[in-house]
Amino acid sequence: MQSAFFNPGPTTTEGQIASLHLSRDQQLPVQLTTVASRAEDQGYAEGVVTNTRFGSFPHSTLIDIPWGCQVLASKVDTGTRGRDNFTHSRKRKANAISTDSPTDSTESASLKQATAANSGFIHVLPPTPESWTTSLPHRTQVVYTPDYSYVLQQIRAQPGSTLIEAGSGSGSFTHAAARAVFQGAPTSLNNASKTEEMHTAGKVFTFEFHAERHEKVKTEMEEHGLDSIVTATHRDVYKDGFWLTGERGAYQSPRANCIFLDLPAPWEALPHLTRQDTPDKPSALDPDSTAYVCTFSPCIEQVQRTVSTMRRLSWLEIEMVEIQHKRIEVKREYTGLKYEGMRGVNPVAATVDEALERLRQVEENAREHQQDTRNKSRSKNGVQQNNSSESAVQKHWDEGKLIHRAEPELKTHTSYLVFAVLPREWTEEDEATARARTGQID
Ligand code: SAM
């Protein structure tokens, strides 16, 4: 399976999707190509160019380099075709800084030259569902990483699972689901053949009734190399459920064991997720395993209707969860010495000599303050404890105080998650088989 998401290979190649890492919260997905097919790419002498706030990056400098490289911005000229100093291959070599830093002195020199000439840099990373979620083109509200990681774990999505999703929306959850069910760990960067061997099953069936959104998700799955795992179907699931169309139009069961419903009215889809077979339609659930469902609804009224329908349809262990995602910033704050040293010192200096004098003054003040604190600590704790309390004070001055605070988050409430379980049917025959297997006798 050729997906940059699971199996990117050791280096970037033409046609792959890459995640350009600009900063911790900013990633840019790009399809790497040197073929300028869009009008806006035609004006550049360098071919296709991605412009960012850290500078311009011709794709010729991003292709055929090891994943994870830092790439320096290029000077891009829209009207100087052929006048560029670097040929593209030389430029690629000069701009890509591998994680193994170059030892060759000529290369280091050209890197320095390029650094001086350019304004910024980016890192070229293989795409992940997480980076895709933060940067995908939004067509709807999407499910974010804190929610989908919890959902996938709770509905027991694992390599080999069969997962039903409705609606597909912008495909954010779809990417994470594809990775969860993919039979084979997401790769280390050059573990291609191993992952290929391990990929035997694991499926996502995603349903969407909005024609354009369905088409877009289907195309994305193909472009991202995920179409062997994800089957996208255009369907109103309230009306027509989750069956697949087999030979001569016969209904086939997807045999799902995990279900995720991100729909305005999940209670209208739930009646299609029972264990009953009808003469022409088999149950959409896997008869040999427990089914786990999660619904995702922003309002408590939707939750109430969903829970009530689940109870009527014999779903068990129904519970509602709300994820409150907080990012905690942990850092050391240098309050002690530096702060004390600055006391009484005028921070403004007119000359370099004056500035140096102020610095000397700050250091002197700090030393005095430190000595003072040591003396106080001695008289308080007694001579016996001198060493340990002194080193604690020293450590505090040297390393600063460890503090933490929650980073402000814009999104607090996304949705309520309702989870439930539908056990497999257990017949007399199943019981007899189980007893025989475990050697139990009546
Ligand atoms: N989970 C998606 C993601 O992470 O990108 C977002 C889903 S979006 C909030 C809800 C989607 O459900 C919309 O695209 C909508 O068109 C689709 N939808 C609504 N009713 C539907 C139905 N009866 N059958 C199929 N899809 C439906």
Write out pLDDT tens, residues 358-407.
888 877 877 787 788 778 777 766 555 556 655 665 566 566 677 888 77
pLDDT on residue 386? 54
Rounded to the nearest angstrom, the distance between the alpha carbon of 247 and the centre of ligand 1 is 27
Which of 210, 217, 411, 414 best tests ligand 1's pocket when mutated (most atoms within 8 Å of CB)?
A: 210
Beta-carbon contacts of 387 under 8 Å, excluding residues fewer than 6 positions away, are: none
Low-confidence winner among 189-198, 304-313, 400-409 (lowest mean pLDDT)? 189-198
State the Cα–Cα distance between residues 329 and 233, nearest whole angstrom.
Answer: 42
Distance of alpha carbon 362 from alpha carbon 356, whole angstroms = 10
> Rounded to the nearest 10 degrees, what angle do helices 386-399 and 352-381 cross at?
150
Identify the residue whose C-alpha is closest to ligand 1 atom 16. 210
Q: Is 325's pLDDT higher than 70?
A: yes
How far apart CA 229 and CA 6 sit, in angstroms, is: 12
Separation of alpha carbons 356 and 388, rounded Å: 34
The atom of ligand 1 lying closest to the CA of 165 is 1
Q: Is the pTM of this model over 0.90?
A: no
* Average pLDDT rounded to a whole number, residues 420-430: 93
Mean of the pLDDT values across residues 100-125?
A: 57
% of the chain beyond a pLDDT of 90: 49
Residue 374 DSSP SS3: helix
* Atom number, ligand 1, closest to the C-alpha of residue 170: 5
Q: Is residue 132 within 6 Å of ligand 1 at its C-beta?
A: no
Tens of pLDDT, residue by residue over 2-26, are: 788 988 999 999 988 999 999 888 8
Tell the CATH topology of 129-325+413-437. Answer: Rossmann fold (3.40.50)
pLDDT score of 193 more than 60: no
Which residue is closest in CA terms to ligand 1's atom 22? 236
Which tokens in the block code for residue 212?
């354009």
171 CA to middle of ligand 1, Å? 10
Residue with CA nearest ligand 1 atom 13: 169
Specify whether the backbone of 382 is left (phi greater than 0), alpha (psi in -120 to 50) or beta: left
**All structural domains of the chain with their residue ranges:** 17-125, 129-325+413-437, 338-374
| Ligand 1 contact via 267 beta carbon (within 6 Å) | no
What is the position in ligand 1's atom list of the atom closest to the CA of 237? 24
Residue among 164, 179, 209 whose CB has most ligand 1 atoms within 8 A, to mutate: 209
Ligand 1 pocket, residue 142 CB under 6 Å:
yes
Average pLDDT, the chain: 82
Instruction: Give the residue-averaged pLDDT of 89-116.
Output: 50
Instruction: Using DSSP bridges, classify how beta strands 230-234 and 203-208 pair: parallel, antiparallel or unpaired.
Output: parallel
Model confidence at 88: pLDDT above 60: no
- On the question of pLDDT at 306 being above 70, the answer is yes
47-51, 199-203, 275-279: segment of lowest average pLDDT: 199-203
User: What distance in angstroms lies between residue 237's CA and the mean position of ligand 1's atoms?
Assistant: 10
Residue with CA nearest ligand 1 atom 24: 236
Helix (H, G, I), strand (E, B) or coil at 401: strand
